[in-house]
Amino acid sequence: MAMSPSSRLMDLRRSRSASDDGSTGAAGPVVSSRRLRLEDLSNPPTAAELRQYSDANMHDLPPTYKREPENRVYVVRGLRLESVKHVGFDMDHTICEYKSPQYEALQYRLIVNRLVAMGYPESIRTLSYDASFPIRGLCLDTKLGNLLKLDQYGTILAATHGRRRLTTAEKYPSKFINLAKVGSGRRFHLYDTLFSMPEICLYADLISLFESEMESSELGIDDEKLSLSFEALFIDLRAAVDHIHYSGELKDATTADLEMYVEPAPRLADLLLRFRTKAKVFLLTNSPYAYTNIIMDYLLAPSYTADYPNWRSFFDVAIVSARKPLFFGKGTALREVEVATGNLKLHRITAFEDGAVYHGGSLSTFCELTGARGPDVLYIGDHIFGDVIKSKKNSGWRTLLVVRELVDELNSFRNSTSEFVHLANLEFMLAEIYRGLDSSAVNPPNVKDIHAEIRATRFADLYASSVTNIIHYPMFYAFRTQAALMPHERGAMQGGDDAHDMAQPSLAVDSDSDDLNISGSVHALDSSMETLAQRKRTLRRASSDDDDDDDDMQSRSDHHHPPCGSPDEAGGPILAGNSDNDDSDDDA
């Protein structure tokens, strides 16, 4: 169990000599002419104490209190919760967490059944979902039938054909894909949602099955029994996926056995009610009313009381069939849902009524009826494009991205400590090899063996593994970001001449820190916080100038938005707040 700040300060005070002049121990504020040390401060310290405080050496600071990694909110942009006036939630994969791999296995079976109905052989019924194979963010080469893992520049990190691992040079000698060719309707299709996991797995399984039984060419199955291009297979699979969503098969199978497919949410009611003490709370989901009603009732029924007799009473506003990301653009007509029948009522809506449910609508209508301004709204969802990018760019809403895979990622980091240590050793060796060499050196050192050991960096945004992680923070908590140091600044902090900036691993994870520092883990304090704040503003403004425009981003994302679930995704963070919010905190 983590020690409280007061306990750590008491330990420090006991460890100091009692003979120090002016030391007050735990007695309270110190007012004297001498410089104060950490153990002399009140908790929280006064302004007068801070003016007299003398910074402790980095190595003398006690461990900083941190929540358990899986319970934290990881932050990209700072946000003060007390500044939020409206809090919105997506439903599927956010408020409602589906059990994995049971839910993906269900989708897999339904897709297989549909393919058989479309004429595919009965033998494909022998296939089953393998949760260890697919991950979000993979890209499919629809022409050659290969699944690719790309970095943000289009460099191919890994490739498979069916279940067979490819060497990059086999099909892609340049080891690079032009990202302009990635997107809906283009050669390379991006899988960026949790709903895509069964589709990824089944596509690979079908290729492996067909190629094991029949002759194939570079472009598809070419046998006397069957002629099927990899692109045609992709189109058929997409049609089958669309069918199970839009026909209602997946929704019906899910609601028929909620305990099998839906995780209970014992802390959801507490989270919603705590937010309602400080802000207006709304539900904004792409799911239709009938499905939303069943799911939300299942999740919140254990918390019903006389004051909160149904799930609708936990929200100030509930909007279904929102059709995000269209909602953040031109939207659709806003209609009221008759909660008893599910029928729509078309009439002029001048205000959102308590206990009512609404269908469709748009960002402009929502803001007009609620008085919400962009920076006042925190929206929590799981889809990078539909929930985060569009709401941020079109409305200025602050956003928190829920990434289910984060818990597995953190466990992987914990279990890879020895690998990070080995990587740090290799990078130190590489730096030593280049020590003292400049442009006059003509004989390059042999670093082939060391380079072969160094693996590619993994990139991650900042986010939370579950929507209820935020319940671990007070409603006035201020999330803050760790200032990113430029390479020359990291070199200065580390000391010495290090042209390669190799003194730290390219990816380091501090298990006691709320921040995942992707570009180098250098936990250092700048003596001038004003300088850091200015640097943060400059970097963020520069970053915002490089954003893709909405149309280009939309073309790169798979926009299959099943009626039983809103668009979603991973990988990702609390993309919360104003980029220029200097006083906001982002440690979580």
447-481: per-residue pLDDT in tens?
Answer: 666 555 553 222 222 247 777 787 777 776 666 66
Query: Which residue has better confidence, 289 or 57?
Result: 289
Rounded to whole angstroms, how far apart are CA atoms 422 and 430? Answer: 12
Q: Which of 130, 135, 136, 138 is nearest to 105 (CA)?
A: 130
How far is the CA of 182 from the CAs of 138, 353, 467, 558, in angstroms? 11, 43, 30, 10
Rounded to whole angstroms, how far apart are CA atoms 160 and 177? Answer: 15
Residue positions annotated with a catalytic role:
90, 92
Q: What pLDDT, in 10s, does the model give residues 287-342?
A: 999 999 999 999 999 999 999 999 999 999 999 999 999 999 999 999 999 999 99
Rounded to whole angstroms, how far apart are CA atoms 365 and 335? Answer: 11
**Does the structure show a pLDDT above 80 at 279?**
yes
> For the residues 211-234, what does the mean pLDDT come to?
96
3-state secondary structure of 549: coil
Q: Residue 568 — very low, low, confident or very high, per pLDDT cuts 50/70/90?
A: very low
Cis peptide before 474 (omega within 30 of 0): no
Residue showing tokens 């996926």: 241
> For the residues 96-125, what does the mean pLDDT come to?
98
**For all residues of the chain together, what is the average pLDDT?**
78
Residue showing tokens 């099943």: 562
Q: Which long-range contacts (CB under 8 A, 24 or more apart) does 11-16 make?
A: 11/62, 12/38, 12/39, 12/62, 13/39
**Does the structure show a pLDDT above 60 at 14?**
no
**Does the structure show a pLDDT above 90 at 88?**
yes
Secondary structure (DSSP) of 100-158: TTHHHHHHHHHHHHHHHHTT--GGGGG----TTS--TT-EEETTTTEEEEE-TTSBEEE
How far is the CA of 32 from the CAs of 6, 23, 48, 49, in angstroms? 22, 10, 10, 9
Query: Which residue has better confidence, 96 or 490?
Result: 96
- Say which amino acid occupies 469: N
Residue 442 pLDDT: 66
Where does residue 331 fall: left (phi above 0), alpha (psi -120 to 50 degrees), or beta otherwise?
left
Cβ atoms within 10 Å of 302's Cβ, excluding its own: 11
Residue 481 pLDDT: 64
CA 457, 463, 467, 470 torsion: positive or negative?
positive
**Does the structure show a pLDDT above 70 at 497?**
no
Residue 7 pLDDT: 56
Domains of the chain as residue ranges with CATH = 5-65 (no CATH), 77-94+264-401 (3.40.50.1000), 102-259 (no CATH)
**Does the structure show a pLDDT above 90 at 13?**
no
Residue showing tokens 């089944």: 202
3-state secondary structure of 5: helix
Q: Residue 537 — very low, low, confident or very high, per pLDDT cuts 50/70/90?
A: very low
> For the residues 34-56, what does the mean pLDDT come to?
90
Residues 6+ apart with CB under 8 A from 128: 105, 108
- How many separate helices (H) and strands (E) can be counted in the chain? 18, 18
Query: Which residue has better confidence, 413 or 90?
Result: 90
Q: Maximum CA pair distance of the chain?
A: 94
Residue 27 pLDDT: 45
Q: Residue 521 — very low, low, confident or very high, per pLDDT cuts 50/70/90?
A: very low
Residue showing tokens 């460890």: 15
Q: Which residues in 71-96 are b (16+ Cβ under 10 Å) and which e?
A: bbbbbbbbbbbebbbbbbbbbbbbbb
Pairing mode, if any, of strands 377-381 and 317-320? unpaired
Entry pTM: 0.73
> For the residues 230-238, what does the mean pLDDT come to?
98
Assess contact for 284 and 253: CB atoms under 8 A: no
Alpha helix positions (H), 214-337? 230-246, 249-256, 258-261, 268-276, 289-300
Percent of the chain with pLDDT over 70: 71
- Eight-state DSSP code of residue 159: E
Residue 299 pLDDT: 99
Q: Residue 564 — very low, low, confident or very high, per pLDDT cuts 50/70/90?
A: very low
Residue 421 pLDDT: 85
Sheet holding 317-320, edge to edge: 344-345, 335-337, 357-359, 317-320, 280-284, 86-89, 377-381, 398-401
**Does the structure show a pLDDT above 70 at 439?**
yes
Residue 255 pLDDT: 99
Residue 20 pLDDT: 47
Query: Which residue has better confidence, 86 or 11?
Result: 86
Residue 1 pLDDT: 43
End-to-end CA distance of the chain: 17
Residue 8 pLDDT: 55
Structure tokens at 540: 């963020």
Residue 467 pLDDT: 72
Query: Which residue has better confidence, 275 or 484?
Result: 275
- Say which amino acid occupies 135: I
**Does the structure show a pLDDT above 50 at 398?**
yes
Structure tokens at 579: 């980029």
Residue 22 pLDDT: 44
Residue 68 pLDDT: 87
Q: Which of 396, 389, 350 is nearest to 372 (CA)?
A: 396
How far is the CA of 477 from the CAs of 1, 35, 81, 279, 425, in angstroms? 21, 30, 6, 14, 38
Query: Which residue has better confidence, 415 or 29?
Result: 415
- Eight-state DSSP code of residue 429: H
